[in-house]
Structure 1
């Protein structure tokens, strides 16, 4: 899979090059990036734009035992009319009474290569497995905000192109455990579920793939495939300048953990950015 599967409202970053949004696996669900579709405290003017950069460290693909350092780009926009740009792509959030909300967004996932190639998700250990093509997808989300302390949400990613890759579903709880004028610490926990197609695409080995790669044939089936925990710390130096340090751990479970291409059942990811907000 292209991204470590972990979600949450944690640090603010897009891991990878600006020209290629690593918004799915492993970066998207690692939870080390803040989900812009979640409710936030609006600024006085109602608009908030953040841009920054730094460095990230992540596995080459979901279940990989190989890691790499990558550039980290932070780009996030919040508006008072519900439009947002961030981890969830470009989308719209509808605030409902009593703390409930709905959101929909469009984004792009670059897929996975069967070789190590630049910043792309993939590894030479996947030779013969073939590439997973990139896909434009929509993320639909519903949730409940408990004041400004925690958010409980459910979400699904549905591919609009290359639809055979399948869908993913998430149940997440994100919260702020400490907040002061200069510092904010957040944590998150997420359960990740896959459709049968998605599980086969990212964890399965077809007969043809088995012949070409040498891995045993494997059909994992859908269901819970991982749980993740995330944490982030943001420190404000001034009104505009801040830094974010974030990390996440993903544990693959069930049929996914038994896949012949999952070399490590536990993946880690971390990143740090220096950001400017206005």
Structure 2
């Protein structure tokens, strides 16, 4: 399963912990569904499991967010972390984190996972509206390229136990990133049968997501999320992009203590 789609829902839930006043350990478990890879025309549903430990001093360790530090400076929240970008296989490969490939990519070779530096910033524009920016810089397998994300999240409804938000995100990649995930080299073309293709750097994906969080009590919560991912520009025109629009969804419970 596309790792970004698989973890997005849990990241939304964990984001609020970045401003926790006490040390908080959150366990999460549920299911998530997404396209097998970015541009795939088939879906997979897999387990969603996560652990997030947020310290009051700003440090955190998380299976979703990586290991890092975040701190608020007025209405702006800044963070820096070591993360991991998942692999993409040229065949069905199932694991703890869900499926990581598709036979539709046979001959394309595996894209190796690697360590990344993730730098982020969010700005509370007004109450209930937040602008977010993050960049992902590979520390290993640098040939896979760098990525940038920009998002806007607004609160649609909020009561004591319920919180409904809508997020619009745009994702961009440099030339190496676009070639890794949407391009087809001459060698890959000869092995896979896809025509050779070299995309340009820039915007490649838009995502609209709605999230509902319900808090049963101080410790237990439930989150449901549904979204639509749309490939644009050179990513949508890639020979390996079978479908330029796909759905994502997740349902999971959280327990914090």
In the TM superposition, what are the counterparts of 1:86-125 in structure 2 within 5 Å?
A: 86=62, 87-97=64-74, 99-118=75-94, 119-125=98-104
Corresponding position of 1:129:
108
Q: TM-score, normalised by structure 1?
A: 0.85
1:78-129 Cα deviation digits (max 9, x unpaired) = 22211123433121112213x1222101111221000011133110010000
Match of 2:10, SS?
coil
**Number of aligned pairs?**
253
In the TM superposition, what are the counterparts of 1:56-75 in structure 2 within 5 Å?
A: 56-75=32-51
Shift of 1:39: 5.8
Give the Cα separation in 1 of the matches to 2:133 and 2:55.
22
Structure 1 unmatched ranges of 5 or more: 4-21
Match of 2:11, SS?
coil
Shift of 1:37: 7.9
Structure 2 unmatched ranges of 5 or more: none
Give the Cα separation in 2 of the matches to 1:71 and 1:208.
35
1:31-75 Cα deviation digits (max 9, x unpaired) = 4232578565855x5232221211111111001011111011132
Give the Cα separation in 1 of the matches to 2:138 and 2:232.
23
Give the Cα separation in 1 of the matches to 2:35 and 2:129.
29
Give the Cα separation in 1 of the matches to 2:184 and 2:6.
23
Give the stretch that moved more between structures: 240-249 or 31-40: 31-40
Match of 2:248, SS?
strand
Larger fraction in helix: 2
Kindly indicate whether structure 1 or structure 2 has the higher relative contact order, using CA contacts under 8 Å at least 6 residues apart: 1
State yes or no: 1:197 paired with 2:176. yes
Give the alignment partner of residue 34 of structure 1, picking from 8, 11, 18: 11
Corresponding position of 1:154:
133
Whether the aligned pair in 2 keeps the contact of 1:182 and 1:237 (CA below 8 Å) is: yes
State yes or no: 1:178 paired with 2:193. no
